[in-house]
Structure 1
Amino acid sequence: MKRIRNFCIIAHIDHGKSTLADRLLEYTHTIAEKDLQAQVLDDMDLERERGITIKSHAIQMDYLLDGEHYTLNLIDTPGHVDFSYEVSRSIAACEGALLIVDASQGIQAQTISNLYMALENNLEIIPVINKVDLDSAKPDEVEDQIVDLLGCDPSDIIRASGKTGIGVPEILQAIVHRIPAPQGDPDAPLQALIFDSVFNPFRGIIAYYKIVNGTIRKDDFVKFVSTGKEYHADEIGVLKMDMSPRKELSAGNVGYIISGIKTSKEVKVGDTITHVDRPCEKAIDGFEEVKPMVFAGVYPIETEDFENLRSSLEKLQLNDASLTFTPESSMALGFGFRCGFLGLLHMEIVQERLGREFDMDVITTVPNVSYRVFDKKGNMTEVHNPSGLPEPTLIDHIEEPYIRASIITAADYIGPIMTLCLGKRGELLNQQYISGNRIELTFDLPLGEIVIDFYDKLKSISKGYASFDYHLHDFRESKLIKLDILLNGESVDALSTLTHVDNAVTFGRRMCEKLKELIPRQQFDIAIQAAIGAKIIARETIKAVRKDVTAKCYGGDISRKRKLLEKQKKGKKRMKQIGSVEVPQKAFLAVLKLD
């Protein structure tokens, strides 16, 4: 155990974590020259296309220093705020962390929040300034920022470059010398913490764990504490580039277990594995239950795919523990699921993964957040869906979730960012200069306002420089109303939203205009209306596609043309009674991108 080091890499998005991980793997010869490719740990196509890490990836390296062999377990983590739950689980499996800061961008919001998470878990932090080979690098300035933030010695900070490999040997030595070996007793009863799992169609569910105490051997009879289920360990091993089987693993190690589990409900991330004949006294404290921020309905395009969608979501949940879902039904879309996500990017990724990994075509409704509705008797209900609101006469007041947001930006962009946040009903709490002309703004913002397009706007007005991090703060009372969209007098529940009184009229008007462009013309007129309760606040009409019935009327009296037009009008009216309006998927997505 003295020669094991477990560490993770944390940083803001795009600061070069995965590239640096590539260099560590190359330097320790974990990966052969021929297999080397950029971001080698990002094994999903989606991660490569977007250039972001979505899952945390564990891998074991062997390192020789001063004639001694060391085992280094590295976990590469995502940097985006929507995947911070992945980061918290990786941190729980480690004793140390590499904190990576981009030499040209300096410390950003996500760096700070990930750092606090690591410090709460008493991890040893090794600060690394990455990308020092860039022309725009300002390593001295960034070094001062890190010293201010961590209070460490400037000599503790390693300067490196993931691209060229500068500083990689120093990082590996620092990992061995500065990160403590894991604590634990190999002879105690087995206690292993599951921090991730993945579904394999041939071998069932594979769980990844870190052994805190005890030793696990092949063919042991083990049980999962929270579900109480018992299994034989058909195969155990460590995670190299591929899974590599071992006969036994003892305390301090990170590994995987295959025991032919077929149903996804039986494996929970944060659960403890122990022996059946010699169980541990208590389970390890797992992870806090994840709180979804954004809710949206996910419906199969074909109704008979409902059960397939359920099994796809269950398999996806194994690999992404922050996804939650419950069944629901909608008048317009039939049966589907109400899913909870950590943010908009997370929602987009889940939708993409459903399509790619499980071949599911789905319609996603307008995302919204959960509200607390208090009735006149003082009872509180949580509402995730505008159609679940009680009658307006029964509601006393509605509370909506507020977040505490931290935005770090260059001083030049303060004006536009302030305007954006105040326009979203935000309250400025404080602003402080971090170093040079970088400033941190702290706002309280309603979560419902930032769900749709806040992040994109923030990036565009700050030319990509501002970084944004948030956590749920509290619930506050506010004047919210339900805005319905009617097509030919029928309400489309998938398009209804809860919105603030001040925004309702403009939002309703813009929705109607957008839908007019997107809904294809039918054989009859379609009226698109936005309504608050019984009051219509906006209307657009899509004109019918019609045949020129008067074309064959040459000369003669006007009444001959009239007669033909009246006949056509009657037919259109009859058609309108039985016709239904198809709402294309683009229309549901357009609501997100109204501006």
Structure 2
Amino acid sequence: LNKIDLPQADPDKVRDEITEIIGLDGAEALSVSAKSGIGVDELLQEIVDKIPAPKGDPDAPLQALIIDSWFDNYLGVVSLVRVVHGTIKKKDKISMMSTGVQYNVDDIGIFKPTRESVDTMYPGQVGYLIAGIKNIKGAPVGDTITQAYQPAEKPLSGFKQSKPQVYAGLFPSNTDDYQDFREALDKLTLNDSSLQFEPESSDALGFGFRCGFLGLLHMEIIRERLEREYNIDLIMTAPTVQYKVTRSDGTLEHLHSPKALPQANHIKVIEEPIARTQILTPEEYLGAIIKLCEERRGKQQNLQYVGKQISLTYDLPMSEIVLDFFDRIKSLSRGYASLDYNFSHFSAAPMVKLDILINGDKVDALAAIVHKDRATGFGRALAEKLKTLIPKQMYAVAIQAAIGGNIIARETVSAMRKNVTAKCYGGDVSRKRKLLEKQKAGKKRMKQFGKISIPQEAFLAVLKFDQK
């Protein structure tokens, strides 16, 4: 138990909850404060006493697992490796078992916590390896390193590839940054194999990438790293999930972009991902949280009392979770409720594609896949929000939400008015009428040929507006 020195800390209560909720013996938990150093010595001794020592044969062919990698502008790829069998020495010639590409070891060492070079690494040791690898994909995480002259017979088991659960479009605000953006994503995937991306183009935003993330937190971390570490200003579209779509001809597809969804008459059935969701909340917030789960099309699976808290289990559509569900849970419970969810299964649902039209032109970056029963309310709320974000023009701007060819909601951004008759101080009224007719014709031409500049905030509207 960490942070026991905080004023609000209650270690005895937490021990009881560990016993009741998790089923472990809470009495065995060590009391630690990493900040002040309380209990740290006891914790380190427990690690030595209770965690088995690594086993490995130093005389066997080298097998070292790459558990992390990052790119250094001067050293190239730096890999964090765990030696399972054999040894690694400086100037050894090594080979990547997934590709067969060979490299010469320039430096090896361990962390104390800064890098400290050593001559040899033995079984059980974890340290860094530098081999002049300039290709970002030259040392993939989960690969096995072996000796080039005496290779191992088979690679280590490595890691199970994580599957993205949330997808979003990322576009550079400045189109000149596209190549830098791609290189930044390549570098991030070097030590984060769960991040996936593929090129995507948008009529409104230009060229970018459709990225897959493990969840909302992962998505926010990646976006923040891109902006902070690589100085790339990004526009992010609303996150979506992956749907299973069976076409009329029986073809099965997995789609995660509204743009890729076929027309309704070509779809036989759409299946959406369902998440098994666990919510732990104090009793006084139970009613509000149950109401929220029901609004989000959740199906209650279990409810049980755990000490002074209540554990709720719901099956919720993943699409209802990825926008603002966590924020709503925290708001309703004043921050006391916790949320955990995992993919459970796919379930058929009447999902439809909602398009947003600006002056009759579809804006693909604002399209969304929503449940048919909520489409009208969703479209109306989004149109109202966009009305407040799109700046006024010299002509009226129509904002429409549509499903197929049916317009389900409309808002209009009124035109800026210029008083063209201000200089007329009397005289024939036909003079004023001619000026007004000329202004009307000019606005008609502007509306016909003009392009609306949609601000970045508009693309975040789907993320921000409250869809109760």
User: Quick check: TM above 0.5?
Assistant: yes
User: Are 1:463 and 2:327 counterparts?
Assistant: no
Q: What is the match of residue 585 of structure 1?
A: 456
Code of the residue aligned with 2:146 in structure 1: it is T
Q: How does 1:206-225 map to 2 (within 5 A)?
A: 206-225=78-97
Q: What is the match of residue 330 of structure 1?
A: 202
Secondary structure at the aligned position of 1:339 is classed as strand
Match of 2:126 among 240, 254, 265: 254
Go from structure 1 to structure 2 and tell me whether the alpha carbon gap of 1:513 and 1:151 turns closer, same or farther (over 3 Å shift): closer
Secondary structure at the aligned position of 1:261 is classed as coil
Code of the residue aligned with 1:276 in structure 2: it is A
Code of the residue aligned with 1:202 in structure 2: it is Y
Q: What is the match of residue 109 of structure 2?
A: 237
Match of 1:315 among 187, 191, 206: 187
Q: What is the match of residue 500 of structure 1?
A: 371
Deviations 1:209-236 (A, max 9, x none): 1111111111111111112221111111
Structure 2 Cα separation of the partners of residues 135 and 527 of structure 1 = 56
Secondary structure at the aligned position of 2:262 is classed as coil
Question: How big is the shift at 1:344?
Answer: 2.0
Structure 1 Cα separation of the partners of residues 270 and 25 of structure 2 = 50
Structure 1 Cα separation of the partners of residues 206 and 26 of structure 2 = 61
Structure 1 Cα separation of the partners of residues 449 and 25 of structure 2 = 76
Q: How does 1:161-176 map to 2 (within 5 A)?
A: 161-176=33-48
Indicate the larger mover: 266-275 or 446-455.
266-275
Q: What is the match of residue 558 of structure 1?
A: 429
User: Are 1:197 and 2:73 counterparts?
Assistant: no
Q: How does 1:540-555 map to 2 (within 5 A)?
A: 540-555=411-426
Go from structure 1 to structure 2 and tell me whether the alpha carbon gap of 1:554 and 1:475 turns closer, same or farther (over 3 Å shift): same
Secondary structure at the aligned position of 2:460 is classed as helix
Structure 2 Cα separation of the partners of residues 249 and 526 of structure 1 = 67
Question: How big is the shift at 1:458?
Answer: 0.6
Q: How does 1:408-557 map to 2 (within 5 A)?
A: 408-434=280-306, 436-557=307-428
Q: What is the match of residue 178 of structure 1?
A: 50
Go from structure 1 to structure 2 and tell me whether the alpha carbon gap of 1:162 and 1:219 turns closer, same or farther (over 3 Å shift): same
User: Are 1:366 and 2:241 counterparts?
Assistant: no
Structure 1 Cα separation of the partners of residues 263 and 136 of structure 2 = 39
Deviations 1:457-500 (A, max 9, x none): 11111111111111111111000000000001000000000000
Q: What is the match of residue 188 of structure 1?
A: 60
Q: What is the match of residue 29 of structure 2?
A: 157
Structure 2 Cα separation of the partners of residues 325 and 152 of structure 1 = 40
Structure 1 Cα separation of the partners of residues 96 and 197 of structure 2 = 23
Structure 1 Cα separation of the partners of residues 163 and 92 of structure 2 = 35
Go from structure 1 to structure 2 and tell me whether the alpha carbon gap of 1:279 and 1:454 turns closer, same or farther (over 3 Å shift): same
Structure 1 Cα separation of the partners of residues 176 and 8 of structure 2 = 55
Deviations 1:351-387 (A, max 9, x none): 2211221122222112111111101222101111111
Code of the residue aligned with 1:408 in structure 2: it is L
Deviations 1:105-141 (A, max 9, x none): xxxxxxxxxxxxxxxxxxxxxxxx2233334333223
Q: What is the match of residue 174 of structure 2?
A: 302
Secondary structure at the aligned position of 2:132 is classed as strand
Question: How big is the shift at 1:306?
Answer: 2.1
Q: What is the match of residue 342 of structure 1?
A: 214
Q: What is the match of residue 267 of structure 1?
A: 139
Question: How big is the shift at 1:282?
Answer: 1.3
Question: How big is the shift at 1:314?
Answer: 0.2
Structure 2 Cα separation of the partners of residues 542 and 147 of structure 1 = 59
User: Residue 82 of structure 2 contacts residue 127 of structure 2 at CA under 8 Å; is this kept in 1?
Assistant: yes
Q: What is the match of residue 79 of structure 1?
A: none
Question: How big is the shift at 1:153?
Answer: 5.0
- Alignment TM-score, normalising by the size of structure 1: 0.76
Question: How big is the shift at 1:334?
Answer: 1.8
Q: How does 1:141-152 map to 2 (within 5 A)?
A: 141-148=13-20
Q: What is the match of residue 396 of structure 1?
A: 268
- Alignment TM-score, normalising by the size of structure 2: 0.96
Structure 2 Cα separation of the partners of residues 169 and 441 of structure 1 = 38
Structure 2 Cα separation of the partners of residues 300 and 137 of structure 1 = 44
Structure 1 Cα separation of the partners of residues 355 and 392 of structure 2 = 21
Code of the residue aligned with 2:141 in structure 1: it is V
User: Are 1:283 and 2:155 counterparts?
Assistant: yes
Go from structure 1 to structure 2 and tell me whether the alpha carbon gap of 1:260 and 1:137 turns closer, same or farther (over 3 Å shift): same
User: Residue 64 of structure 2 contacts residue 81 of structure 2 at CA under 8 Å; is this kept in 1?
Assistant: yes
User: Residue 18 of structure 2 contacts residue 25 of structure 2 at CA under 8 Å; is this kept in 1?
Assistant: no
Go from structure 1 to structure 2 and tell me whether the alpha carbon gap of 1:506 and 1:283 turns closer, same or farther (over 3 Å shift): same
Match of 1:379 among 231, 240, 251: 251
Go from structure 1 to structure 2 and tell me whether the alpha carbon gap of 1:155 and 1:591 turns closer, same or farther (over 3 Å shift): closer
Q: What is the match of residue 26 of structure 1?
A: none
Go from structure 1 to structure 2 and tell me whether the alpha carbon gap of 1:301 and 1:136 turns closer, same or farther (over 3 Å shift): closer
Code of the residue aligned with 1:197 in structure 2: it is S
User: Residue 141 of structure 2 contacts residue 191 of structure 2 at CA under 8 Å; is this kept in 1?
Assistant: no
Question: How big is the shift at 1:148?
Answer: 4.2
Deviations 1:255-296 (A, max 9, x none): 111111112122211111111111112111111111111111
Which residues of structure 2 form unaligned runs of 5+? none
Paired positions, count: 466
Code of the residue aligned with 1:580 in structure 2: it is K
Q: How does 1:96-115 map to 2 (within 5 A)?
A: none
Question: How big is the shift at 1:315?
Answer: 0.8
Secondary structure at the aligned position of 2:400 is classed as strand
Deviations 1:331-353 (A, max 9, x none): 22222111111222222222221
Q: CA RMSD in A?
A: 1.5
Code of the residue aligned with 1:455 in structure 2: it is F
Percent identity between the two aligned chains: 54
Go from structure 1 to structure 2 and tell me whether the alpha carbon gap of 1:342 and 1:193 turns closer, same or farther (over 3 Å shift): same
Secondary structure at the aligned position of 1:581 is classed as coil
Indicate the larger mover: 562-571 or 158-167.
158-167
Secondary structure at the aligned position of 1:592 is classed as helix
Q: What is the match of residue 112 of structure 1?
A: none
Question: How big is the shift at 1:439?
Answer: 2.1
Question: How big is the shift at 1:147?
Answer: 3.4
Structure 1 Cα separation of the partners of residues 437 and 25 of structure 2 = 88
Structure 2 Cα separation of the partners of residues 243 and 164 of structure 1 = 25
Secondary structure at the aligned position of 2:353 is classed as strand
User: Residue 15 of structure 2 contacts residue 27 of structure 2 at CA under 8 Å; is this kept in 1?
Assistant: no
Question: How big is the shift at 1:151?
Answer: 5.2
Q: What is the match of residue 405 of structure 1?
A: 277
Deviations 1:44-91 (A, max 9, x none): xxxxxxxxxxxxxxxxxxxxxxxxxxxxxxxxxxxxxxxxxxxxxxxx
Q: What is the match of residue 6 of structure 2?
A: 134
